[in-house]
Structure formats: structure tokens, C-alpha cells
Structure 1
Amino acid sequence: MMDFVDNSNLSTLSEEVPYHCFPSLTSCDESSQLNRLNNEKKDCNSRTKSRGKGNSNKKKPNRFCTYCKSQITGGKLKRHILRKHKSDPEVKSIISKPAHIQNKFFDGKRREGIYEYNLQLIGDGLDPEMRERKPVLEDQLRVCSDCKGFYSNKYFFKHKCVIHEDSAPQALKPRLLQNVMNDNMDNDKGFLDILNRFREGEVGDFCRTNKTIKLIGYKHFNLRRHEEGKQDEVRKTIMAEMRELSKLFFCFRSLSGSEERMVEDMFRREHLLDLVEALKQLTTTSDKQEKHGQKLFLDAVLLRSVKTLEGYFAQTMQDTKKKELKNFRSAYKSLQHELFPSARQKCIKNSLETNRKPASLPNEQKVLQLKEFIATEISFILKNYTVKNFAYLRSLVVARLTLFNARRGEEASRMLFSEWEEAEKGTWLPDEELEKIKDHAEQYLLGHFKLAYLKGKGKKYVPVLIPNDLMSAIQVLKQDRSKFGIREDNPFLFATKNGLSHCSGWHAVAEVCAEAGINIITATKMRHRLSSIYASLDMSPENRKIFLQHMGHEEQINRENYQCPLGIRTACIMGKMLSSVDEGSVSELHPKGPSTAPEEDLMYKPCKSGSPNELDVSPQECSFEIEDDDGAKVLSSPVTAKKTKSSSVKWSKDETEAIKCFFRSYIFDRKENNTGNLPSKREVQEFLEKHDMHSLEGLSEKTKLLKIRSKIFNERKTMRLMTLKKLDEMKSLKI
């Protein structure tokens, strides 16, 4: 008798026992039994597949391609790179390698893509979403400081970097990267104002949208955003750099023949030759002439961009890119001696042969004519002033200040309202210091000017002297600011309408010159003119230092870039010397012999023989009073005083400064005709006790007293001569 099979085991036995072994059933029971067996078999197969690796319903996470900056769906990153980027040099070199090396390379590209994509999300204020594996349950991500991978916080310490004995990676929170991302770039009002000023077009749109170009510009903006009074200059500089870098990238992309090129690709060594060719093509005119100024500018922009990106990659822990940038910079600098020497030489040649020629200096008659024109126009406008004349009056004042002080084009025009108020109150010329000045010529000069200090080139502050004839015009500009439409929060004295900017110094000078009917006399030409006059004057070292501080540059810059060569003096002095050498009469070049008069006699004789001129001191003017030990004043003259034959004294700089400081009242507090008191014996002895005078060692007390008094008298006379020279220099300039 055959046993019946239990229903629970039918699904298993159906694969082993033939169907005909079962007892016969009715047709209805047979069909229902078969359907039930088939359904149970399908359920069993589906459960088996769900536990295996071949589940077709499982969706692989997306990946990010670092070459074309796009998402790859389905996790097919390797296939995408081999198909779409097989011409890339890096991919070409890896295809021929063994399989284990290829796998390591593509694993690195996958991890690099995940990191870069998540950085973009963090920069936009979003949470990172791309990771190695999708989690079953919600968790928190951590970033490995070594491999830059994104892992679950629960299983972070199980990945390979931690298992390795030599490494000690840190589990970083993704939000920590927010501090170095460009999340503030799209919310910064100052930088957004710069982006909005780009014109519509291919270059302007690219500057506004490309993240790398914006990042480079934003880093430079942060570096200079706090330069008070230079907002316009900073904005123009950053916009120029972003535009030129964008133009260079367009040229680079067209030469490479691939529209998939990114801005970062310009800073890779394998594309260096394409970058060099793009640089040459962009800086060459249609008639094969080199734009040397633009070429040097692009060189500076490229180096600054590399420095910016290198710092950014270091902050965001993209060490591979940072290392590549460092190598790129070394390779680029090795080519600089081939790319830029001609451009630098042309700039130097233009400076030496064109700008410094005497013919390039402004005509003196035209300068005087322009000065008279400005004074006449200001006087006429003040008598018939209306608000319509505000802009023209502003241009006249700015032109006068720029040309009078020989300032750079935009320096005088960006004077702040606070700087003008300081000048008006006499902050830089306090009354206490003015009262100490006894020289009438210096008092006269100080009474005709106000002094302001403005920000010059770089970090320097430069002085601006404001003549009194401009005070009335400046007061009108100050009072009618609101009537002209200038905002109350505009910080500039020479402000413009409906904004926070100032007028252009160059355009102000150009407008005034056009009204006067004179070819434009630029600020640069006036600086050349003043530097050439300075070179022809015999000025003391102290005065030369003050002149260079006023100009805002160093002695070498003044000599090599501004002043005209002293051609007449060179021809006279060297012509005489070379002619004597050529004729064999070298003996004529030697002096006739040293003077037999002792130096002390020369110090005692400040006057020339014969009729004194305006720079000489007559014997009557050389008298002075000496207080003896009892306080009695004795009238004496150094010319008739008894002279002792002794060796001359060579005063050191420190000793001279000590004498000037201690006996300041005797040197600077003179009476008329150069008469005045000299210190008593007691005062001189007190000075010698407090100061070590090595130049007076070995001399008697009487000789020391005489030497000190002679030194004080000569210093007083020198101050008088310097004052007279100042007056002559002011007359010769005729500004």
C-alpha cells in the first residue's frame, strides 16, 4: 500500500519524484495541486536570489568623474573613463599597466571623485551624499584624513587606512571642511558687486559662473578688501585679472581641441606646452607684434593663481592636486627665461629711451599756462557758482592738487573726507611745533599750505600739500555734496553721484587740459619733471630723504625710472676730464694745492671777501653775544676773535646730533642779521659731562670750549643758508 506525501514536503519532492508516482486525482484537484506547487517553487527561488549577489533590483550609487566634472549613474566610472577620456595622457599611461595597478588607479579616481563632489555640496551649504556604499540604516559620515574617503561613523575604524600599522588617520566631520570652502563667496556683497560689474558676453558670463575663476578672484579680493580708500583700484585689478585669465583659458581650450578642458587643466604639467602656446597667441597682434605689457601681466596672474589654488588644495586636503601644482610651478618657472625676457627688455627700453628723454618732459610754458588757467577758472566759478558747475569745479581742484604735488593719477582724487578734516584742523602741523620755528621763510611757507597724508602705492602714506587758494573751492564742494546727489555715506572728498566711489584723477586732468587747449600733461610727466629738477639741485641728504618720501618711492626708482639723465653736467665734467686725458695734460686735473689756512680759520670765516651776495653773511651780521660765567653778555665776532693753531676736528654724526639736540635753542632761536647768544662756559661743561666727545680727546678745556662754540655758530649759519636755498628752489619750480 503506497503512502501519501505530506503537503509541506511537496515543493521539495517535486524536483526528485516523477509526477506519475503520485496517485491519480481528479482533473480539478490535479490542476489546483499543480498551481500550488509552482507558486511555492517561485517563492523559494525568489528568497534564494534575494540572499545572493545577483539581485537585479539593487541600484549602485552614482560616481563623479574628475575629468569632465559630471555624475556617472550606475557606478560605471571605470567604463566611462575608458570610453570618454581614453585620450587623456594619464589614462593612456595606465591602460598598458597590469590589472592590479589599473584597479588601484581607478579606485583612487573613484575616491577622489567622491571627495570632490562632496566638497562642492559642502560649499553650497548641503550635506554630503556620495559615499562608498549606501547604508541600510541612517548614520553619520566621517572623512578619513589620509585617503579622503567618506565612511560611516560606526565602521570608520575598520577601513584599510586604520588597519595599516604606519598610519594614524583622523575621523573628520564633513562640516569642518566648511571653513575652507567658498560658501561665503556667493553671499559676499563686496564680491557680488564685482561680479555684477562684468559686461554681458562670453568672457563676462564665464567670470560670473566658473567656480575656479571666481575662487581665484575671491581669494585676491579677501587679501585686499580692507584697503581703505582703494576700493575702486582693488575692484579694477581683480576684474582685469579674472578677464585675462578667462581669455587665456578660452585660447588654451581651443588649442587643445577638447571642449571638456577645465580651468584646472591649465595648471597641469602635461598641458604646459598648450598653455605656453596659448600665452603666445593671446599676446601677439595681427601684425606679429608682441604685447609685452599684457604678457608680463599674465605671467603675474598665473603665478598668483597657482599660489591661490595650491593653498586651497592644501586646506581642503586634496594633496594629489597640491603636489601636481607644486610640480607645475617648478616646470613653469623653468620656462620663464624663454618666455618673458623680451617683454621685460622692451619695457625697460621704453622707460629708458622714451619716458626719460628731456623731450618727453612737459613744456614749462604750458605748465605755467595750465596753472593760470586753473586759477582763473576757479575764481570765475566761485563768483558765478551753481550746482551745475559742481563736477567741473571738482575736476579743477583735483587737477590742481595732482599736478602741484606731482602725485600719481588716482592718489589725490581718492582723498577721504576724514583725511581732509585732519588737514583742515592742522593735525599734522600742530601749533606747538609751529611756534618753535623762528625762521621767517619757513613760517611764510607753512602759512600757505594745509598738509594731508593719503594712502599711496602699496602700504606707504604720502603727503599732499593743499594750497590756500583751493580752500574756498573745497569748502563749496564740501557744502554742496547733497545737492549734487552724493550719498551721505560716501567717504571720499571728491565723490561721485549715486555711489560710493570717487572721481578719476586722470580724467579730471584730461578734462582741464582739453578746456585749456593744451595737450594733456599727465601726472607721470609731472613726476618726471619734478624728479629731473630734483636731480639738478644741490640738496642736503635730509632734504633728499624728505623729497623721496613725498614722491613715495626709493632713490633707485627715482634715478632709473623718473629723472632725466644729467646730460649737460655729464658732458661738461666728463668732457673736460676725457679731453685732458686725450691731450695728455692730466696734471691740469689736479687741484693747485691744499689751502694753507687751518680749518678752524675757515670755520670762523663764513663770509666771502668783497661784497656779500644774498647767500653770504657780512662781517656785521656775524657778531654774536657770549655769556660769561657771571651771566654778563659780551659782544664778539668770530672774524676778529683770536685764533689758535690747532688740528681740525672731524665731528661724527652722533656727536653732531648730540650738539644740535642739547643746544637747540641757540641754533634755531636766532635774532635778526644772524646775531644771537652762544652758550656759556658752564653750559658747555655740563654738556661735556653728559656726552663723550671722542673727537675732542687730547684738547685743553679752553680749546674744547672754543670748538663747541664754533660748531654751534656754524650750524646756525648752515640753517640760514638752507632756508634761503629753499626759497630759491620754490621760485625756480614756479608750480
Structure 2
Amino acid sequence: MRQLARLTIALREISKNSSLSLSDFLVPEKFDFIIQATKSISMSPYSDETCRPDFHTPSLALKLGYALKKCISIERGTALRSGNMKRNRSLLSFLHLMNMEWTIRISSNALSTLHRRKINATELLPLTNDLVKVSKYIDESILATKLELEGNRSNATWTKLATLVLARIILFNKRRSGEAARMKMSDYISRPSWKEQNTEEIKLSLTPIEQKLAEHLVIVEIEGKRGRKVPVILSSILKECIDILIRHRVECKISFHNKYVFARSNDSVNYLRGHDCLKKMCDEVDLENPSIITGTKLRKYIATVCQLFNMTENEYDWLARHLGHDIKVHRNFYRMQESAIELTKVSRLLLAVDNGEVNRFVGKNIGEIDIKDLPGLQDDEKETDDNEVKENEFDRQIVKEPDDGIQEKKDYVFKKTKVSAKKKAHVAHKVWSQEEKEAVVEFFRMNIKKSIVPGKSQCVKCIEEHPVLKSRDWKKIKYLIKNQIQKNKCSKGS
């Protein structure tokens, strides 16, 4: 409305008649006035005549084109209802003239200006340290506010907890703030359960870390942009907080008619604005650049840092679907249990990024992110060796540098671990026999094919099933498979 009002003011100044309305200019005879007025409010007055026209507000010119077509549709509807065929023909002629000339005189130049501005434009992304700081602050505040609400069920405390939870969901899921804020009670209550809807074959195909993620996380499907179904992944603490918010809605004077999970206070039937919630949290923390932590910037951030991961085409599609994008419109999964994929695949990437240690996963694909690398999801049964203290042993790990176009470089990074003096004196390398190698490779054939390093339980099972491996430690078997996977990758790269 404001854009059309600005256009109407400009039209009155050009025609020098302040009594005319926008409807009076929607005739073929005054089409040039529309073009002139659009240029006057959106084009730069200092544009070089020898070059393409430069718009200081190109988006305004583009939006006016769409708005004018809507106005023509409304005017035609009015004319047809009143039986004014002459007015309808005049509007059709104006629309025909607009279709012929608007693109050449306005749209193409405005789009050209937008394109030129994007060239070499500096795109600021949120700082990793800032994201980690605000995540920790919100997590701590959620725990404190949750306890406070259990003791003091006031409207202010309820709203505070809802604000914190909504901000954390946006920050973790890199979701559009409006989409997360519009989560309805019905969406949350009817959320799918991966245990119930997935077949036994799908469950068995998941790796241990994926099964662990599926147990700890839940997925809620909500309506996104253009009516798309988009998922929101919730951790156990966020799920617990939402359950508390729903349980105490009546006591905290939230309207019975409000259908949103993150409802506004008292009699309002609207929802909290996600952008405002996230901005409020960022303002409360001492950050280097809090102004660039927005829903859009977070989505650009994860789209940028995911390039550090060695992701497959399918994994990129999973991430794109989670973000509500369409990489290839007709490319969807062939009914491969979408909830399980969302929980187990994308959540690995989200948890790794949320922890602020992306550099640890350079060159890895999503399947290689181990459970010990993710916060709060360590196995209950910790893998501990003997009580001997290890000292001065180096574990070699290959890290690939990005290809610079000339040759592939490899740096060898050494991690120190401790080994006892007793072990240090008796370190001896036992050569693998052909029989041992064949037994291990056959057992982990699918792991090698899928480039998944086995865990302790799988290695122990391999030892139990093959007596020839009884003298081998499970770690030796694990690193044999890891080296084989690395060797296969190197051979494919060459």
C-alpha cells in the first residue's frame, strides 16, 4: 500500500492534478505517466545516460509492476460486476501495453542493477564464537527459567521461557524465524514417531550413532514457505520445555483460542515473532557482531560451512529439504522414511555446526561424524581401556587440504595421547596375516563400501565370530578398516 501511495503522489506531481486517484491513471493514454513516476521514485538521478539506467531502489520498481497488475485485476472485477464493458476493455488495453513495454523500460534495468550490486559484494556471516556464546547463554537460561516456571507459574515467566525456546529452535535448526514461530499445537501433538512409522529394515540399516540420534531427538513437521512441509528438529530439553509450556498455558493466562505453541500473552491469538526473540537473546550477550545473527544469515552460514564436509549429493538434498529449499524441483526421496533421514542425517550436521567446531570435520562426510564428537550424545557405555596412563604415543591422522587446482596436498597432523612407560618399552607392531585381513574385510564389507568406520561393539563382535582374531585388540581392527576406507578414497581421487 505504501509503495502504491508513493507512486500516486509522484503521478499527481507529474500531472499537476492533486485530485486524481491511481485508478484514473490506469488507462492506455496515461501509461507513460506510470513509467515516468516509477522512474522518479526508484531511479538514481545521477545515472549515466551512456550506460544502462541505474536504480537506487530496484526492488521498489519490480514490486510496483506486480502491484499494478493486481490493481488492474481489482478494477476489472469491479467493471465486470457493474457491467461497464468499456472500462474493462480500457484496462485490458492498459495491461497489454504493460506486458509489451514494462519489461524493457523498467524490469530489465532494475534486475540489471540488482545483479551489478551483487558482484563482489561483501556478505557478512555470523561469527562462530558469537553463535557458540549465544547458544550457551540460551541453554543456561532455559534451564533456569524452566525451574522458575515450575515454582512460579506467572505469565511473564511463561513468555520468557517461550521466547528462549523459540530463539534456540531458530538457532539450532537454522529455520526461517517466521516458520518456527508459527508452529501450531496440532503440529506438535501429531508429530511423527520414527519408531512407529519406520519399518524394521530401515531401523536395522541405521548406524549406532543414527539410532542414538533418533532416540534423543524428535521431529515436528510444520508448514513453510509456499505451503511446503518443512521439519523442525527438537532436542530432548527443547521437547521437555515445550511440554511444560503446553501444560501450564491455562494457569499462565494464555488464551484458549490461541492455536500456536509460542503464543502471545493474555487474550491475543497471535504468536511471538521469532526475529524479535532471537534479537533479544543476542542483545543480552556480549557478542562481537550481534546484528548479523538473523534467520536468513544463519541459513547462509550453514550453507557456507557445509562445504567443509565431504557430503554426497543425497546429503546435500537432505540439508536443502531441511532448510526448505528446492535444489532440483522434481528430486525427492523415494519414500525412504523421511522422518528417520531428517533425524539421523541432518541432525548430525546441525549438532556439529551448533557446537562451533566445524574445523574438526574438514573432509569428512556425514557418516564419519562419530557419536563422541557430538555434545550430550555420548554412549552410556564408555569405551575405556586399561587403567594404564598413556604417554608419548602419536596417533597419525590424515587431513585433506582443499584442491588448489595444481595438486592435492596432504598434511599429517599428530595427536598426542599418553602411554605408560611399561607399554612404551614394549611397543611392537604385529604384522597382519592374510587370513586375518580376509576375515576383517569380509565382516566389514558394507562398512568399507559405505565409508563408515566401525565402533567398538562391531569390532568386538567381529573378534568373537572369527577365532583367528582373538589375539587382536578391537582398536587395531577399527584402524585397519579406517585405513582401508582412506585408501579407497585416495584411489578414487586419483
Band of TM-score, shorter chain: 0.5 to 0.7
What residue number does 1:515 align with? Answer: 284
Determine whether 1:375 maps to 2:143: no
Determine whether 1:347 maps to 2:114: yes
Question: Per-residue deviation at 1:444?
Answer: 0.6
Equivalent-residue separation in structure 2 for 1:531 and 1:516 (angstroms)? 25
CA spacing shift, 1:484–1:352, aligned 2, 3 Å: farther
CA spacing shift, 1:283–1:534, aligned 2, 3 Å: same
SS state at 2:258 partner: coil
Determine whether 1:244 maps to 2:3: yes
Are the aligned partners of 1:283 and 1:291 in contact in 2 as well (CA < 8 Å)?
yes
- Aligned 1:547-562 pairs, distance under 5 A: 547-555=319-327
Question: Per-residue deviation at 1:269?
Answer: 1.3
What residue number does 1:505 align with? Answer: 274
CA spacing shift, 1:317–1:429, aligned 2, 3 Å: farther
Are the aligned partners of 1:621 and 1:675 in contact in 2 as well (CA < 8 Å)?
no
Equivalent-residue separation in structure 2 for 1:484 and 1:611 (angstroms)? 69
SS state at 1:491 partner: coil
- Aligned 1:331-480 pairs, distance under 5 A: 331-333=97-99, 334-351=101-118, 353-354=120-121, 357=123, 360-385=124-149, 386=152, 387=154, 388-423=156-191, 426=193, 430=197, 432=199, 435-480=203-248
Determine whether 1:296 maps to 2:62: yes
Aligned residues: 350
- Structure 2 counterpart of 1:672, one-letter code: Q
- Structure 2 counterpart of 1:621, one-letter code: V
SS state at 1:463 partner: strand
TM-score by length of structure 2 reads: 0.62
Determine whether 1:576 maps to 2:362: no
Equivalent-residue separation in structure 1 for 2:78 and 2:310 (angstroms)? 53
Equivalent-residue separation in structure 1 for 2:162 and 2:319 (angstroms)? 27
CA spacing shift, 1:536–1:306, aligned 2, 3 Å: farther
What residue number does 2:23 align with? Answer: 264
- Structure 2 counterpart of 1:508, one-letter code: C
CA spacing shift, 1:393–1:622, aligned 2, 3 Å: same
- Structure 1 counterpart of 2:270, one-letter code: S
Are the aligned partners of 2:148 and 2:157 in contact in 1 as well (CA < 8 Å)?
no
- Aligned 1:258-337 pairs, distance under 5 A: 258-283=17-42, 290-314=56-80, 317-333=83-99, 334-337=101-104
Determine whether 1:525 maps to 2:311: no
Structure 1 gap ranges (5+): 1-241, 558-567, 578-587, 589-609, 626-636, 639-670, 677-716, 726-735
What residue number does 2:458 align with? Answer: 672
- Aligned 1:217-236 pairs, distance under 5 A: none
C-alpha RMSD of matched pairs (Å): 4.0
Are the aligned partners of 2:203 and 2:211 in contact in 1 as well (CA < 8 Å)?
no
Equivalent-residue separation in structure 2 for 1:487 and 1:260 (angstroms)? 46
Are the aligned partners of 2:42 and 2:60 in contact in 1 as well (CA < 8 Å)?
yes
SS state at 2:71 partner: helix
Determine whether 1:492 maps to 2:260: yes
SS state at 1:264 partner: helix
What residue number does 2:441 align with? Answer: 622
Structure 2 gap ranges (5+): 48-54, 330-361, 364-400, 409-429, 447-456, 463-480, 490-494
Question: Per-residue deviation at 1:553?
Answer: 1.4
Are the aligned partners of 1:624 and 1:675 in contact in 2 as well (CA < 8 Å)?
no
In the TM superposition, what whole-angstrom CA distance separates every residue of 1:138-194 from its partner, at most 9, and x where no partner exists?
xxxxxxxxxxxxxxxxxxxxxxxxxxxxxxxxxxxxxxxxxxxxxxxxxxxxxxxxx
In the TM superposition, what whole-angstrom CA distance separates every residue of 1:323-346 from its partner, at most 9, and x where no partner exists?
222221232231332223343234
TM-score by length of structure 1 reads: 0.43
SS state at 2:221 partner: strand
Equivalent-residue separation in structure 2 for 1:618 and 1:457 (angstroms)? 53
What residue number does 1:176 align with? Answer: none
CA spacing shift, 1:244–1:438, aligned 2, 3 Å: closer
Query: Greater RCO between the two (CA within 8 Å, min separation 6)?
Result: 2
Equivalent-residue separation in structure 1 for 2:133 and 2:125 (angstroms)? 15
What residue number does 1:65 align with? Answer: none
CA spacing shift, 1:378–1:292, aligned 2, 3 Å: same
- Structure 1 counterpart of 2:440, one-letter code: E
SS state at 1:458 partner: helix
- When Rg is computed on C-alpha atoms for both structures, the one with the higher figure is 1
Percent sequence identity is 20
Are the aligned partners of 2:125 and 2:301 in contact in 1 as well (CA < 8 Å)?
yes
